[in-house]
Amino acid sequence: MSTFRQKIEQGTFVITAEVAPPKGVDVTAALATVRSLAGIDAVNVTDNQGANMRMSPLALASLLLREGVEPILQLTCRDRNRMALQSDLLGAAALGVTNLLLISGDHPGFGDHPQARAVFDLDSVQLLQTVGRLNSGEDLSGAKLTGVPQFFTGAAMTPEAEPFELIFQKYRKKVEAGAQFFQTQAVYDLTRMEHFMAAARPLGRPVLLGVLLLRSAGMARFLNAHIPGVRVGAALIERLAAAQNPLDEGVAIAREQVAYARDHCQGVHLMTLGHEDRIPAILR
């Protein structure tokens, strides 16, 4: 059993970060980033994030294990049909990669291969169910597996998306489909996070609050304009704009979010986008 899983199941506060596989075959920079992470329990390995083609996250996740870093393999429904997904999942289990984050995935229209055919043979709820089937020793067709994987399965949630009732019914479906933990999209309005947590708590799944480090007021405005479900309030933008060193202010904001999570969630998922050196300051 993975230590990440043990910690979550024991109710320990966990910290995750993320790394993107390279565009190419040289993993030096990705591994250097991962090695530099201190105090992190597991690292998400993104899957063609933003619909931009990169190295297989399964390959990088496997390399992380060799480094002694526990990966959380992200798998999207965008690029693989149910056969390829199950096939990759069995491969992941054989390589010792058992923590998963299962998501729909950004539409190919956003990325660097906009002419690609989007797959979405399964949706994220169905992919969660699929992993449950594999964990029970059979595939989606009901055929028995030789050796049974023991995946620890996470799902995503956007707490600030509206209408809340519509978004939350999917959260409920993900819980019923077997999600064992959740990592959220970045949340900056902690009142709204509390609104979500009040609804989520009775369902009993550990929630890791998404903390996206803000570099500047410009970045905050960009998120508001372009990233669905992410809302940086005017007061935070004002703080960033007024700060002598906006990145320091972003770290301070992230620290407040982590403080909230320590009291109300079971962990944080840090998205520091190249500023991994600031993680110790965020966690201090």
Residue ranges that bind other proteins, judged by CB under 8 A: 77-78, 82, 103-104, 106-107, 109-110, 118, 120-126, 129-130, 140, 156-158, 161-163, 165-167, 169-170, 173, 176-177, 185, 228-229
Min dist CB 60 to other proteins, Å, is 23
Instruction: Choose between 165 and 263: whose C-beta lies nearer to other proteins.
Output: 165
Rg of the chain in Å (alpha carbons): 18
**Strand (E) positions, the chain?**
14-19, 42-45, 71-76, 99-103, 152-157, 181-186, 207-212, 267-271
d(CA 105, CA 48): 9
Instruction: Choose between 27 and 167: whose C-beta lies nearer to other proteins.
Output: 167
Min dist CB 49 to other proteins, Å, is 13
Query: How many other C-beta atoms lie within 10 A of the C-beta of residue 183?
Result: 24
Min dist CB 283 to other proteins, Å, is 26
Comparing CA positions, the residue from 192, 206, 208, 187 lying closest to residue 254 is 187
d(CA 38, CA 136): 35
Min dist CB 234 to other proteins, Å, is 18
Encoding tokens for residue 133?
């089937």
Instruction: Choose between 41 and 88: whose C-beta lies nearer to other proteins.
Output: 88
Instruction: Choose between 59 and 140: whose C-beta lies nearer to other proteins.
Output: 140
d(CA 62, CA 59): 5
Min dist CB 224 to other proteins, Å, is 10
Instruction: Choose between 147 and 163: whose C-beta lies nearer to other proteins.
Output: 163
